A and B are shown apart, each in its own frame.
Chain A
Amino acid sequence: MAGLAQHGVSRRSFLKFCTTLASAMALPPAAGLAMAEAMAAARRPSVIWLPFQECTGCTESITRSHSPTIESLIFNVISLDYQETLMAAAGHQAEEALRQAIKDNFGKYLLIVDGSVPLGMDGAYSTIGGRSNLDTLKEVAKGAAAIVAMGSCAAFGGIPKANPNPTGAVSVSDIIKDKPIVNIPGCPPIPVVMTGVLAHYLTFGSLPELDKLGRPKAFYGETIHDRCYRRAFYDQGKFAKTFDDEGARNGWCLFELGCKGPVTYNACATTKWNGGTSWPVESGHGCLGCSEPDFWDAGSFYKALSMPADPLKTVAGAAVAGAAVGVAVSFVNRAKKSAAKAAHETTTLPDLEK
């Protein structure tokens, strides 16, 4: 707590942070206190953050986590032994820090990964210090107690994996099969979702309850649609048709403008962004579905879920083929009918008997 006080975080605000986080994760009230005590008392566990084929958006996002000084809180509560964007060291010194952290904390460190892992060209598409991400991941994962796949790229492959996936990008769980992995998807994930999962792990020593895609149910258990404040308009059928029409200005549902809320599991509708300021739908733009696997390939962001995801490529050809086959069949049919007519044998009375 002394360290916290040094950084201007009062006990009061620290407790407030922990209780807020606990309630956001739907944990019982006592958990908030437990979190505070755990985080205050614990020997700061080692955390290694590996950046792979990523845009650094996840790192940017976590630094926006709630209270202004929270990043220093996290960095004082945990021992962030390796994080390329934020650490002071670079080059050989940084790599040495990594090797030391692994050696000192083998079997106990928390591995955070952001970015996808490219498999193409033997992994040469993304390297750190001359080593492919694939090799690095396999090595560092060996001593990890658990792995946090931060962001949609690490969780599901993300934008590098989108069609045509030129680098052969895959997710962390496609490579590592023998360690507990929690996926925190989002492009990027909500800041407080990221810190909340870490806090859970630090408090309870285990990962929170996960859904079948490995996402913490506390934050990914409901769809955007089911928590959306514009839901009543969806139910009534009041849809904005353009981004600036009367419906849009009245805050009507954005389904027709491509909102993927109904098929997206995330906490944006409740937790919101920017310390609870707003979130895409509230700002008038449909949900992109960024916490879902392959959301980049799920059709245009601006096409409603009821519209075709891709252009209908073979439809015109099928119509032409249908007309051609139809015409051919009609010729055959008419020929058959004419042949039957030509072969007509006039029926006379005796012909009525078999």
Chain B
Amino acid sequence: MSASLEKGVRVLKEVIDAPIASYFSSCVHCGLCAEACLFYTETGDPKYTPIHKLEPMRRLYEQEYTVLGRLKKLIGLSKAVTDAELAEWQELVYNSCTLCGRCSVVCPVGNDIVYMVRKFREGMSASGNAPVGIKGAANRTITIGSPMGVKLPAVKAQMRHVEEDYGLPIPMDAEGAEYLVMLSSMEIMNFPEYLGAIAKIMNQAGKTWTLCSTAFEATNAGMQIGNSDLARVIVSRIVEAAEKLKVKTVISPECGHAYTALRWEGANLMGRSFGFKVRHIIEVLGEFQEQGLLKTEGFETDRLTFHDPCQLARRGGVIKQQRNLMNMVSKNFVEMPDAGFMNWCCGGGGGASAIEEGEELRMEAFKKKKSQFDAVKPDRVVTACANCRIVMEEGLEHYNMNLPVVGLTEMIADHIPNPVVAKPEGS
């Protein structure tokens, strides 16, 4: 059975809850959400106003769940939502929204607009109105196992490289390990130093850890497309793995939506709480730092700033840890304006970076990030999300800015002295 308007409408009716009803009833059209959204501020086009991105859902809510709305529909004063309308809204719901959540924190009446966009995507995806780029990523994640099409052999190859380079074993499928480490395709393909960094850190901290052959991918394209059924398929692989290997904590990598998907939506997708903890790698590093298990040497010499990934900081609640870690290895760490909780999105989260036709818009929106950099003029930018890294690199290149972007975990690991390689027995 194929996607259809009827299906989309049914899904929306299912997901509309009291919060959404309350939010729609509270909006006073003040427009402050637009002022918080980089897609509006950098383009000046009012159609990108966050609450406007939800207009079809608002009308549907009114027509289905309010007495007045039902009456209006009956007498023809309120038009039904059409497929064409949803198609028109695709750009607003996907291309120009990274689920960064800034709108949700500025709305004076308390509307959680990003929550509503997330729910609207359920209907959009079920009615066949999700962008082609994210559909592709979702397809690859579900069928192959990763949005970039990375398969186990590729992972194993990277494992071997890292073992050789760092002289540390990379465990896989080790039952009873304390930590199950997840990766994102980005890291496997573009930033393999991440795996080595994990190995060094775990080794120094004396913690047991493992990868899993059936669940190495943390990126959840189902989340980005906004479809709980698909997101559940992806999450359940991780949950099964964690339970099979009886780990205490699953570590989500430097990826934004992977963390949100597993840490905050995971249990709700599965319909039950987990028997294990979920932590972002930055949280784990923060814990190690507090417990004295993380010992670094030396400092970076150049001027550094930190870009807070939206899903980690504002949407995930991990804000202080990265700063403590930065200060551990840098004496020249400067904060951008609006850093931390109110940081501006890189422009590529929530699946946006997978939408080819949205690239021009993203480059426009990147001017906001650029302005933050221009304000502090760093030598390098540090962050903790592989997607942010790629998106920022692309944006910086577009604007001819020579500004390297690095990952925090790797930077920390760089300051951990290399381990003494224990020679295997009998060699």
Contact = CB atoms under 8 A, between A and B. Distances in A.
A349 B222 CA distance: 10
B67 A349 contact: no
B10 A343 contact: yes
A347 B14 contact: no
B2 A354 contact: yes
A336 interface: yes
Contacts of B4: 354
Contacts of A347: 3, 125-126, 227, 229-230
Interface string B332-344: 0000000000000
B142 A344 contact: no
Contact of A329 (B14, B67, B125): B67
Given A329-B67, A336-B64, A337-B13, A350 B229 contact: no
A352 B13 contact: no
B135 A333 contact: no
Contacts of B2: 350-351, 353-354
A337 B139 contact: no
Q: Most chain-B Cβ atoms within 10 A of its Cβ — which of A325, A345, A346, A349?
A: A349
Contacts of A353: 2-3, 128, 135
A353 B125 CA distance: 9
A277 interface: no
Contacts of B130: 352
Interface in A317-354: 325, 329, 333, 336-337, 340-341, 343-354
Contacts of A325: 67
Nearest to A342: B14
Contacts of A346: 229
Given A336-B65, A347-B125, A349-B142, A354 B14 contact: no
Interface in A183-214: none
Contact of A349 (B13, B17, B65, B139): B139
A344 B128 contact: no
Interface string A224-254: 0000000000000000000000000000000
Given A348-B229, A349-B230, A354 B65 contact: no
A330 to B, nearest CB: 10
A350 to B, nearest CB: 7
A232 to B, nearest CB: 41
Contact of A340 (B1, B3, B10): B10
B43 interface: no
Q: Most chain-A Cβ atoms within 10 A of its Cβ — which of B143, B225, B229?
A: B229
A352 B65 contact: no
B351 to A, nearest CB: 13
Nearest to A348: B229
B14 A341 contact: yes
Contact of B13 (A329, A340, A348, A351): A340
B138 interface: yes
A213 to B, nearest CB: 43
Nearest to B122: A347
A40 to B, nearest CB: 75
Given A341-B14, A352-B128, A333 B225 contact: no
A325 B68 CA distance: 13
Contacts of B83: 354
B354 interface: no
B16 A352 contact: no
13 contacts: A337-B16, A337-B17, A340-B11, A340-B13, A343-B10, A344-B14, A345-B7, A346-B229, A347-B227, A349-B230, A352-B128, A353-B128, A354-B3
Interface of A: 325, 329, 333, 336-337, 340-341, 343-354
Closest 7 CB pairs of A and B: A354-B128, A340-B13, A340-B14, A347-B229, A346-B229, A341-B14, A354-B3
Given A340-B14, A348-B229, A348-B230, 19 more contacts: A333-B65, A337-B14, A337-B16, A344-B10, A344-B11, A344-B14, A347-B230, A350-B2, A351-B1, A351-B7, A351-B126, A352-B3, A352-B125, A352-B135, A352-B139, A353-B2, A353-B3, A354-B2, A354-B128
